[in-house]
Amino acid sequence: MIKSKKLLAIISLIFVAITAVLVVLNFPFQTSSCYAVSSSAKAMCVIDKDSKRVLFCKNENEKLPMASTTKVVTAITVIENCNNLDEIITVNKNAIGVEGTSIYLRENEQISVKDLLYGLMLRSGNDSATALAYHVGGSVEGFARMMTELAKKVGANNSSFANPHGLDNPNHYTTAYDLALIAGYALNNPTFKQIVSTKTHIIPATNVSDKRYLTNKNRLLSSLDGCCGVKTGFTSKAGRCLVSACERENRTTVCVVLNCGPMFEESANL
């Protein structure tokens, strides 16, 4: 009996020692649960970008609408499937007058893919999203399939996309965990990171429009030290949603809150 107790104590000490070493070395193991914290969000998830380790969570696997945070997926899908972001394209007529936020594109307007990406991520233009979808995917439906495929590629298996802008649709949903994974993946792309961390951008005059002056809707870029993106969102069904990221001491943390009233304040605290 005494020998058994000694053996159990030795095994416990070895386990504690190994765990301590792994923590010191930042070994990217995934725990079965995360720290639950108080949050008014319907769902939230905070991960370490590189290890993908979940740090804080609440209902992180619940399938929910995510409004314009959808555009995180839209942007990285465009960037990965467009050979020349400086290419000047002609805006498809189906992108004109799309419901919701807009950069007021006009039919047959000629504008670069990169400027449409700035219109997408800073101003949250639903018309920009639609124009990009037609250019890259040939149609909204075709592009939505590409978005879903990208999500599955990065391990976001509980997401489905029906459009590039995030307007409510029963077949359009994600989870806080999935969206954190996708955002972390996207932030590894220098072009994506540059765009989502930009506070202001000027789209040059086009063949049918004067200059457009864009301001990023993500207030954390100005109020949170180290914030490097990424996207706000709101619909009446999804509520206020925010994907944010903070980079300090060569480590990046990604935070997703879905249906969260004080989304900026809670994300900053998380």
Residues recognised as catalytic: 68, 71, 124
Cβ–Cβ < 8 Å for 238, 231: no
In angstroms, rounded to a whole number, what is the distance separating the alpha carbons of residues 147 and 39? 29
Cβ neighbours, 10 Å, residue 78: 28
Q: Hey, what are 168's tokens?
A: 């409510």
Cβ neighbours, 10 Å, residue 16: 10
User: Would strands 239-248 and 227-235 be described as parallel, antiparallel, or unpaired?
Assistant: antiparallel
In angstroms, rounded to a whole number, what is the distance separating the alpha carbons of residues 129 and 71? 7
In angstroms, rounded to a whole number, what is the distance separating the alpha carbons of residues 108 and 118? 19
